[in-house]
């Protein structure tokens, strides 16, 4: 049964249990979340938005929107845009890891496939390779190719579990790295493809820092809310059930493999968008951008922020970029890996839930008794 058909069956299964299974789509959700989306007419949607929006959300949103107007272009482009893009790719990893229980190191590879896709289908410095399609053909094609690859990677790696998944996806990622390094006919080998520019649409040059920032912000927000939405939807709840106890979910009649592969495909979509933005940000795609250090950096970013909440990826990315940009002024430029490796090690050793976990610990100690990171949907 395909994942899409399965989702439909699950949705209809709630009302009519004619498919021979009880209406577990409501059972599988927690009692607290049932009330808020079982009945979803427009009035409750509005009140739900009103209830779930807190002052800190408005604060973050207004800072994010106003940021480029009182900051330097350097900060807007180099720090904030890069954090948003890296955060978006890391989000795909943290979605898989946090909600699906599958730590895939190949997310950067998927992003890289999308980036190379834009370079090959669109325009780049290597005219004999690039097909020169207009952006509105090249970008969707690149995203589709990346999503198909992500699905295949997912199909391959869901045959394994836990730590095996890390090994398989790492092997796939490194294999792709060697492929682009050695292949000159499509990927232009070590040189890579250069001069990748975002298109000029609606007479706005999206290469310009402020415009690029807003484009990244839009994509990042879209990814963030997509993940927030998915993890509350029946599919997401089933995915979390599979993370916690695959055998039980299998016994309940859920197709475990289909759910996992669908999660890979969804994460692939997020990573692909991030990958295209990253290609435009760097203006080039080289084997180095899908090298093993970047595969691992994505894990570092996701774990640094914390994988139990989608915002963790962006938090981790911001810290990562800030360290990358400013820590090298304090210490030797060459020693960035030592710093980031050390920080990562410290986080894994002392706070496995990342900075969000640290924050939750502090809150539970000093603040009112409430945690910010929950594996399930947060109570409103």
Instruction: Give the residues lining the site for another protein (CB under 8 A).
Output: 103, 156, 159-160, 162-164, 166-168, 170-172, 174-175, 178-179, 182-185, 292-293, 296, 299-300, 303, 334-335, 337-338, 340-342, 344-345, 348-349, 352
Q: Which residue, 7 or 308, is less far from another protein as judged by CB?
A: 308
Q: How far is the CB of 284 from another protein (least distance, A)?
A: 20
Q: How far is the CB of 189 from another protein (least distance, A)?
A: 10
E strands, 160-229, in order: 193-194, 200-201, 204-205
Q: Which residue, 92 or 351, is less far from another protein as judged by CB?
A: 351
CB atoms within 10 A of CB 64: 17
Q: Which residue, 187 or 212, is less far from another protein as judged by CB?
A: 187
Q: Which residue, 140 or 162, is less far from another protein as judged by CB?
A: 162
Q: How far is the CB of 320 from another protein (least distance, A)?
A: 13
Q: Which residue, 64 or 296, is less far from another protein as judged by CB?
A: 296
Q: Which residue, 129 or 226, is less far from another protein as judged by CB?
A: 129
Read off φ and ψ for residue 361, nearest 5 degrees. Answer: -65, -45
Q: Which residue, 181 or 221, is less far from another protein as judged by CB?
A: 181
- Rounded to whole angstroms, the maximal C-alpha distance in the chain is 66
Read off φ and ψ for residue 202, nearest 5 degrees. Answer: 55, 40
E strands, the chain, in order: 193-194, 200-201, 204-205, 284-285
Q: How far is the CB of 147 from another protein (least distance, A)?
A: 19
Q: How far is the CB of 225 from another protein (least distance, A)?
A: 28
Q: Which residue, 345 or 362, is less far from another protein as judged by CB?
A: 345
Q: How far is the CB of 255 from another protein (least distance, A)?
A: 17
Read off φ and ψ for residue 116, nearest 5 degrees. Answer: -65, -35
CB atoms within 10 A of CB 160: 14
Query: H helices then E strands: how many in the chain?
Result: 19, 4
Closest CA to 93 of 336, 367, 305, 365: 305
Distance CA 336, CA 326 (A): 10
Q: How far is the CB of 250 from another protein (least distance, A)?
A: 16
Q: Which residue, 84 or 172, is less far from another protein as judged by CB?
A: 172
Question: In this structure, are residues 106 and 96 in contact, taking their beta carbons and an 8 Å threshold?
Answer: no
Any idea which residue has 């299974």 for tokens?
21
Output the six-digit token pair for 333: 């430029």
Q: How far is the CB of 277 from another protein (least distance, A)?
A: 25
Q: How far is the CB of 16 from another protein (least distance, A)?
A: 36
Q: How far is CA 345 from CA 212, 292, 317, 337, 340, in A?
A: 33, 18, 16, 12, 8
Any idea which residue has 């979910």 for tokens?
249
Distance CA 249, CA 269 (A): 25
């Amino acid at each position: 049964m395909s994942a899409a058909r399965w989702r439909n069956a699950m949705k209809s299964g709630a009302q009519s249990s004619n498919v021979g299974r009880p209406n577990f789509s409501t059972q599988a959700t927690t009692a607290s979340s049932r009330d808020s989306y079982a009945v979803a007419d427009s009035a409750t949607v509005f009140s739900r938005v009103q209830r779930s929006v807190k002052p800190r959300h408005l604060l973050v949103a207004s800072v994010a929107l106003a940021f480029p107007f009182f900051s330097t272009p350097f900060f807007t482009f180099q720090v904030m845009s890069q954090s948003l893009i890296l955060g978006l790719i890391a989000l795909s990893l943290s979605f898989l890891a946090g909600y699906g229980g599958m730590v895939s190191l190949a997310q950067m590879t998927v992003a890289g496939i999308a980036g190379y896709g834009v370079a090959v289908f669109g325009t780049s410095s290597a005219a004999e390779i690039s097909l020169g399609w207009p952006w509105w053909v090249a970008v969707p094609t690149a995203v589709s190719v990346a999503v198909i690859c992500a699905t295949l990677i997912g199909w391959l790696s869901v045959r394994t579990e836990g730590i095996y998944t890390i090994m398989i996806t790492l092997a796939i990622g490194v294999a792709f790295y060697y492929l682009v390094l050695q292949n000159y006919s499509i990927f232009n080998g070590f040189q890579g493809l250069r001069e990748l520019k975002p298109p000029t649409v609606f007479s706005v040059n999206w290469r310009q820092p402020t415009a690029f920032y807003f484009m990244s912000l839009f994509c990042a927000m879209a990814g963030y809310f997509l993940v927030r939405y998915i993890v509350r939807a029946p599919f997401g709840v089933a995915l979390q059930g599979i993370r916690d106890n695959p055998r039980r979910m299998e016994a309940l009649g859920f197709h475990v493999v289909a759910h996992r592969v669908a999660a890979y495909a969804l994460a692939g979509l997020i990573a692909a968008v991030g990958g295209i933005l990253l290609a435009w940000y760097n203006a080039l795609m080289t084997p180095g951008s899908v090298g093993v250090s970047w595969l691992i950096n994505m894990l570092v970013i996701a774990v640094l922020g914390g994988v139990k909440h989608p915002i963790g990826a962006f938090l981790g990315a911001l810290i990562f970029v800030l360290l990358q940009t400013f820590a090298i002024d304090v210490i030797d430029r060459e020693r960035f890996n030592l710093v980031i490796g050390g920080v990562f090690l410290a986080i894994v050793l002392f706070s496995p839930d990342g900075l969000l976990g640290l924050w939750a610990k502090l809150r539970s100690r000093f603040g009112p008794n409430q945690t910010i990171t929950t594996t399930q949907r947060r109570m409103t």
